[in-house]
Structure 1
Amino acid sequence: MAATDPLPDPDRLEGAPHPRETRAFFGHADQQAEFLRAFNSGRLHHAWMLTGPKGVGKATLAWRLARFLLATPEADGGMFAAPPPDSLELPDSHPVARRLLQLAEPRHFLLRRGPNDKETALSQVISVDEVRKMKSFFALTAADGGRRTAIIDAVDEMNPAAANALLKLLEEPPPNVTLFLIAHQPARLLPTIRSRCRELRLTPLAPQDLADALTQAGGDIAPQDRTALAELSGGSVGEAFRLTNLDGLKLYTALTRLFSTLPRLDRPQALALADLAAAKGAAETFDLIVTLIDLFLARLARCGTTGQTPPEAAPHEAQLLHRLAPHPLAARAWADLAQSLSSRARRGKAVNLDPAALLMDMLLKVDETAGSLALR
C-alpha cells in the first residue's frame, strides 16, 4: 500500500458494504424485540454487548439500534405524546440516517482500530488513546442535550490498557449515553466488562435470511446452494461472502470427492488440491481449504457422536460421513485429529512452510486416521 493510499475500514468486510450502509436487516427478530421492549419500558441499559459468531450481523444491528435511538425523540409523558414505537425502522431520508451514513452525526462516536504509529497501516489493536478520544467526546455537552451513542467494533481487539479505560467508562457512564459493544469472543473479555453490559446474543442466520443478506451485500447465490452455503458458513454472512468469492462450495465438493477415496487416498487428486493452494497469490485459498478440512472433520465427529448427518453441503456427503464415522469411537478420533491439524497448520504458517507440503501432510494425516479406523 502506498503511503498516500487511504487506509481500509477495519470494520468492513473487503468487497462488501460497510455495516452502516446496510439498510435492510434480516433475522434476529427476537433480539430486536428485546431491545425495543427495554426502550419502551423506560429502563434502557447504558451498555449493550452484541455477541455471536463473526458475520451474523452484530455490527449491522448496532448501527440500526444507534440510528433508532438518535432519531427517536424522548417521550415527554404528556397527554398527546406519540405512542411507543413498535419498530426499529428508520427511513433512509431521515437526517440522522444520512448523517450516520456519512460519519457526520455529532452525537455518535465510532471506536475502532486506528492507524499504527507510522500511519502506514492499521494497528492490530484498539489502543488506549482511541478510548480516551471517546471519553473526551462524551465529556462535551451534546448540542441539543439529547441522547448520544457509541459503537465499539470490536471490543475483542482492545489491548489491556484500552480495556481498563473502557471499564472505567462503563462503571461511571456519561448521562444519556448508550454504548454498543461488538464482541466476537466475549469469554476473552474482562468479566467486569461483561457484567456491566446487557447482552444481545445473535445466532447463525437461517438459509433464507443468509441468502437475502448475502444478496444485499453483493454476493450471488443460486437457490440450490443456499443450504450448503448456510452449513459451511455457520449462518455467517461474512463467511458466506468469503466462500462465495473463493468458490468455497466447489472446493468443499472437491474435498469430499477426495475423502471419498479414504482410506486409500487418491494421491493425484490430493497433489492437485495441494498445488492449487500453493499457487502464486493463493494464500486466501489455502486458508479456506484448511478451514474446510477442519469443518469436514467437525462434521465427521458430530455424525459419529449423534448418529445423525447434518444437511448435505456437497453431493453424497451424508453417505461419506456415515461411512467414515459410524460410531462414537470414530468421532473421538476425528475430533482429536481436527485439533492436531489445526495446531499443525498454525505452526506451519507461522514458520512459512511450503503451503503445498503443509496441506499434503494434513491430507496424509487424514488418510492415516481413516486407515487406522478401518482396521478396528
Structure 2
Amino acid sequence: MSERAGVLDGAIAPAENNRLFGHEQAEAFLAQSYRSGKGHHAILIEGPEGIGKATLAFRFAHHILKNPEPADAPETLADPDPTSAIGRQLASGASHNLLHLARPIDEKTGRAKGAITVDEVRRAGKFFSQTSGTGNWRIVIIDPADDLNRNAANAILKILEEPPRRSLFLVLTHAPGKLLPTIRSRCLPLRLKPLDAAPLGQALAHLGFDLEGENAGRIIAAASGSVAEALKLINYGGLEIAATFEGILAGQGPSVRKNMHKLADALAGKDSETIFDFFQALASDRIMREAREAAVSGDIMRAERFARLSASVTERLTVSDAYNLDRKQTILSLLDDMKAAL
C-alpha cells in the first residue's frame, strides 16, 4: 500500500531485499521481543542513513505476518522468501496488512516531495479502518519520520497515543533529536550502528560490488558504515566530488576558480539530486568538523565563525530549494564562504 520510493542505482529496495548484514543483535532483540508477546506497539529504529533500518523494518514485518501468533514464532528472523505470497505482496506494495509511509511522489516532476504530509498520515486512519475486522496484524512503517511535517507529526502522535489492537509502528529516523519529544516518548528506541568494514563489504558484495584495487579502502573509509554512501561513491562520482571539494578548499589561484565552476556545474546539472545531497552532507560535515576542532583547541572565535557558517549554509540551501533559485550560484557562494572561513 505505497508508492515505490526512489532507490539508488545499484541498490535493492528494502521491501525486496532478503539479506541484512551487521545487525544481528537488533534482529535477535526484535524476534525475542515479539515471541514473548510483550513487544512494544511502536519501535523507533534509529541510525545514520543507508545502514539498513528500512530493510530491518521490512524483515520484521515479514516475520510477523508469516507468524501472526507470537508464541508460535521462531526465535530468530529468517531471510524473507521473495517467492512467497507475503514476500511478493510486500515487495509490490500490495499487502493489506502493511502501510509504508514515505514522501509521496510529485506527479509533475516525478521526484519525491519535500515532506510526508498530513494527507499521507490520513491514509493510516483509512488503513486501520479497512482492516480492523480482520484480526490480522497491521503494520505501519514510517520511512523516515524525520520527513513528517508538523501537522503530519501531530497526526501520527494521536494514533500512537491510542494504538489500535494488534498494530505495530516501525518508526525510522536518521536524527531522533529532530522528532517531537512526545513521539519519541511513545516509542521503544532501537539504535543501529554504522556497519563495520566486514559487513559493509558483505552488503556491497550482495549488491554485486566486489571492491578491489586502490579505491576499495578509500570507499570503505569514506562510506562511514553506510551502504547508501558507498553507492554514491561508486555509482555517482562521489569519490571525485569529494577529492575536488577538498582540493578547492586547500588550493589557491585561477585553477581553483575553474574547478569551483566545474564542480558547481556538475552539482547543478540535470538529474543531480542524489549527488547534490551527497555534497550538502559533505560540506556540512566539513564545517562541523572545523567547528569541533576549533572548540577543542580553545579557539572560540574560530569555532563561533564556523557555527555561524553552518547555520548560514543550511538556511541558504533551504531557501534555494524552496524558491528554485540558481543552484550553481548557491554552490559557488557556499564554496567562497567556506574558503574565506578557512
TM-score by length of 1: 0.73
The alpha carbon displacement at 1:61 in A equals 0.9
Match of 1:329 among 299, 316, 329: 299
1:342 aligned partner, one-letter code: V
**Aligned partners of 1:56 and 1:238 also within 8 Å:** yes
Structure 2's unaligned 5+ residue stretches are none
2:269 matched residue in structure 1: 281
Instruction: Check the 8 A contact 2:264/2:332 in 1, yes or no.
Output: no
Question: CA-atom RMSD, angstroms?
Answer: 3.6
The answer on whether the counterparts of 2:15 and 2:91 sit within 8 Å (CA) in structure 1 is yes
SS at match of 1:20: coil
Aligned partner of 1:68 in structure 2 is: 63
Query: What amino acid does structure 1 have at the position aligned with 2:226?
Result: S
Aligned pair count reads: 335
> CA 1:11 to 1:196, structure 2 compared with 1: closer, same or farther past 3 Å?
farther
Counterpart of 1:160 in structure 2 is 150
Residues 246 and 176 of structure 1, relative CA distance in 2, 3 Å threshold: same
Summarize the alignment of residues 284-363 of structure 1 with structure 2, pairs less than 5 Å apart.
Answer: 284=273, 288-289=278-279, 291-300=281-290, 327-329=297-299, 332=303, 335-336=306-307, 339=310, 342-343=313-314, 346=317, 349=320, 352-353=325-326, 355=328, 359-363=331-335
Instruction: Tell me if the contact between 1:213 and 1:237 (Cα under 8 Å) persists in the aligned partners.
Output: yes
Distance 2:120 2:85 in 1: 27
Superposition map of 1:84-99 within 5 A = 84-99=74-89
Q: Name the TM-score, length of structure 2 as normaliser.
A: 0.80
1:137 aligns with 2:130: no
| Contact 2:18/2:79, CA 8 A, preserved across alignment | no
- In the alignment, residue 299 of structure 2 is paired with which amino acid? L
2:178 counterpart of 1:188: yes
Please give the secondary structure, in 2, of the residue aligned with 1:295: helix
Larger Rg: 1 or 2? 1
Q: Distance in 2 between matches of 1:256 and 1:346?
A: 20
Which residue does the alignment assign to 2:229? 239
Check the 8 A contact 1:67/1:96 in 2, yes or no.
yes
Per-residue deviation, 1:63: 0.4
Identity of aligned residues (%): 31
1:49 and 2:44 aligned = yes
Q: Deviation per CA, 1:180-234: give whole Å up to 9, x if none.
A: 1122333232222211111112222222322332343465643643443344333
Amino acid at match of 2:154: N
Contact 1:36-1:86 at 8 Å conserved across structures = yes
Alpha carbons 2:35, 2:70 under 8 Å: kept? no
Counterpart of 1:21 in 2: which secondary structure?
A: coil
Return 171-180 or 208-217, whichever deviates more.
208-217
For residue 151 of structure 1, give the secondary structure of its aligned residue in structure 2.
strand
Is 1:272 equivalent to 2:259 in the alignment?
yes
Distance in 2, Cα, partners of 1:292 & 1:119: 26
Mark the CA change 1:354 to 1:111 in structure 2 (over 3 Å): closer, same or farther.
closer
In structure 1, runs of 5+ residues without a counterpart are 1-6, 77-81, 307-326, 371-376
Distance 1:120 1:259 in 2: 35
Counterpart CA distance in 1 for 2:217 and 2:304 is: 27
